[in-house]
Amino acid sequence: MTLTAQDLLFYILGGLSLASALGVLLMTNPIYSALCLALTMVSLAGLYASMQAWFVAGVQLIVYAGAVMVLFVMVLMLFDLKSEVKAFSRGAVAGFMKLVAVGLMTGAFLAAIYNSADTLLGTSLAANVDGTASTKALAQMLFGKYVFAFEAMGVLLLIIAIGAVALSRIEGGTHADE
């Protein structure tokens, strides 16, 4: 088997995302963490794109790497936090157990993926899809099969909007009524 461009892209973007994710975890300065997260998201957007999920890749870039990350960074700026001395929780036992727990879980995952590889590899890779077509199909799905979920999401956003505003107006909130 030869290394196709797609494979290469996977390794580059995958490696980038992993590295930046580790950066999120390890950077003691929250701002750097935020930036690493943004990088992760961008590289994930690239991966989406390499899987011809154009629309999703776009949304990822705009909503996530754009809006959400900006929000995070803004809040961080608001708090004006410097690099933290105590970035990580203490406790050797607890820390060890956390690592072990997550490690074991990941191990279980990887084993499961390996075990189920046969069935999964059996699924054929679809041919390249036209970006417009796929987006159109997605749209049809959103307004067809998933129309309720879509509407519910709308309601969710509405409620959250009002809720977030209300939250800001409580005592101690950013817009508290004095």
| Footprint on residues 78-137 left by another protein (CB under 8 A) | 78-79, 81, 84, 86-89, 94-95, 97-99, 101-106, 108-117, 119-121, 123-126, 134, 137
When binding is defined by CB under 8 A, the residue of 10, 12, 61, 131 that contacts another protein is 10
> Sign of the CA dihedral 136, 138, 140, 142?
negative
Q: How far is the CB of 32 from another protein (least distance, A)?
A: 10
Q: How far is the CB of 132 from another protein (least distance, A)?
A: 14
Q: Give the integer Cα–Cα distance in Å for 121 and 148.
A: 33
Closer of 67 and 132 to another protein (Cβ): 67
Q: Give the integer Cα–Cα distance in Å for 54 and 48.
A: 7
3-state SS, 136-167, equals HHHHHHHHCCCHHHHHHHHHHHHHHHHHHHHH
3-state SS, 19-39, equals HHHHHHHHCCCHHHHHHHHHH
* Residues 24-63 interacting with another protein (rule: CB under 8 A): 24-25, 30, 33-34, 37, 40-41, 44, 47-48, 51-53, 55-56, 59-60, 63
When binding is defined by CB under 8 A, the residue of 82, 130, 132, 144 that contacts another protein is 144
For 177, phi then psi, to 5°, come to -75, 120
145 binds another protein (CB under 8 A): yes
12 binds another protein (CB under 8 A): no
Residue type, 74: M
* Residues 146-165 interacting with another protein (rule: CB under 8 A): 146-150, 152-153, 155-157, 159-164
70 binds another protein (CB under 8 A): no
Residue type, 130: D
Closer of 132 and 153 to another protein (Cβ): 153
